Structure 1
């Protein structure tokens, strides 16, 4: 059993619970709940920061583009963006497919949740400021923009399912060596590992905190692997993160409001 924090639908606060070793059920007080039957709210409440180009393969896939105007060279600092609160949703919530899009891309990301204020921290001390880890699906409409905000493509309602819980950091011995898998309708579509990060989790926290402060409850997505799977209406998306569990959502056409 591993200690977690979870936010049940309608609950104003996080609840302490335990996840079973098979990651298929949780124990909350004396009640055991199967994850396949669990609908819960996002277990985070702070600002969610995303990171671009932090997987080696993602940067390599750009090829010579990074040497062209206006940038002239690969990024020398973390490339960040924000997933605003309207994007957040929880386990088994639907992912809306906008009327002006035919497909969405799946962004499987390890999410770091902060437990206290972190400003200008060293790489060696970076994890001291972390509460734990969860899973995020950094959904976007496929696009070719880098180094600038793709707000219309990345900040739509429901474009950041996250959860289903926060697993406390002591249960994840090495966040830099976790297998990441994406399944669509039960078929494996992507597999990678956080060992392929350009900046390790600690290095990324240190580098970002050198110019901005993380506060308790803030979240840092450490990056998304290259070759993001594409999904369409009706697809069931499942992201698995080794040692943490899984996050599952279904894509549904966005409701048109009068």
Structure 2
């Protein structure tokens, strides 16, 4: 894989960033018994999307400031697929899709996911073929210790299937970014960070995402 160099300005999305819920087998299995309950009454048969608004974009080397009484944040290591002019995936990036800990991943409230700087970005994007990412392993470190390993082989919808299924009901434009989802730990939670912590997300061939978490100024 070849990293696309941007020496003067850190990479930022040029379009809309979409996230996907319940796209890892472990979380799907944990949620399975509740999928038939109200208000949904059945498992989703299409990808469940949400939007990370532009205020969440946090370029490389920016800290995450916890505000409004938030003391912890969930770490959301993921891969973002960057769409090209031809409607195909042109490149990809690692991302940290932060969220305030909450109990519902079916319809997460905007206030938990769309706070300022709640999408940590890498320095550069990486150009490669979709097939190169199918077996990617993403490592999450908290203060230097490995706290999670995300295997893209565990996706409910692999990258080609995810793109095809999303394309059934919407068109991704050039510059849009489709995140493949975030995995949970064995107990259904995600690794959490608090003020003073250092979080790093890395994978072979990709520009890493490193963020210091700080309290409100």
Q: Same fold (TM over 0.5)?
A: yes
Tell me which residue corresponds to 1:240: 202
Please state if 1:97 is matched with 2:57. Answer: no
Contact 2:125 2:207 in 1 (8 A): no
Residue 192 of structure 1 deviates from its aligned partner by: 2.3
SS of 1:191's equivalent?
strand
Contact 1:89 1:161 in 2 (8 A): yes
The separation in 2 between residues aligned to 1:146 and 1:7, in whole angstroms, is 37
Please state if 1:213 is matched with 2:182. Answer: no
Q: Work out the number of aligned pairs and report it.
A: 213
- Report which stretch shifted further, 194-203 or 88-97: 88-97
Q: TM-score, normalised by structure 2?
A: 0.92
SS of 1:6's equivalent?
coil
SS of 2:123's equivalent?
strand
The separation in 2 between residues aligned to 1:190 and 1:218, in whole angstroms, is 27
The separation in 1 between residues aligned to 2:35 and 2:216, in whole angstroms, is 35
Out of 142, 146, 156, the residue aligned to residue 198 of structure 1 is 156
The separation in 2 between residues aligned to 1:138 and 1:130, in whole angstroms, is 20
The separation in 2 between residues aligned to 1:231 and 1:247, in whole angstroms, is 14
SS of 1:67's equivalent?
coil
Tell me which residue corresponds to 2:2: 2
Q: 1:12-35 deviations in whole A, cap 9, x for unaligned?
A: xxxxxxxxxxxxxxxxxxxxxxxx
Superposed, which structure 2 residues align to 1:99-178 within 5 Å? 99-116=68-85, 118=87, 129-170=88-129, 173-178=131-136
Contact 2:3 2:206 in 1 (8 A): no
Q: 1:139-178 deviations in whole A, cap 9, x for unaligned?
A: 00000123224200000000001222111124x7521100
Greater relative contact order structure (CA < 8 Å, 6+ sep)? 2
The separation in 2 between residues aligned to 1:244 and 1:199, in whole angstroms, is 22
The separation in 2 between residues aligned to 1:78 and 1:148, in whole angstroms, is 12
The separation in 1 between residues aligned to 2:105 and 2:198, in whole angstroms, is 28
Superposed, which structure 2 residues align to 1:34-49 within 5 Å? 40=10, 42-49=11-18
- Report which stretch shifted further, 240-249 or 87-96: 240-249
Which ranges in structure 2 are unaligned for 5 or more consecutive residues? none
User: Larger radius of gyration, structure 1 or 2?
Assistant: 1
Tell me which residue corresponds to 1:122: none
Which ranges in structure 1 are unaligned for 5 or more consecutive residues? 10-39, 119-128
SS of 2:124's equivalent?
strand
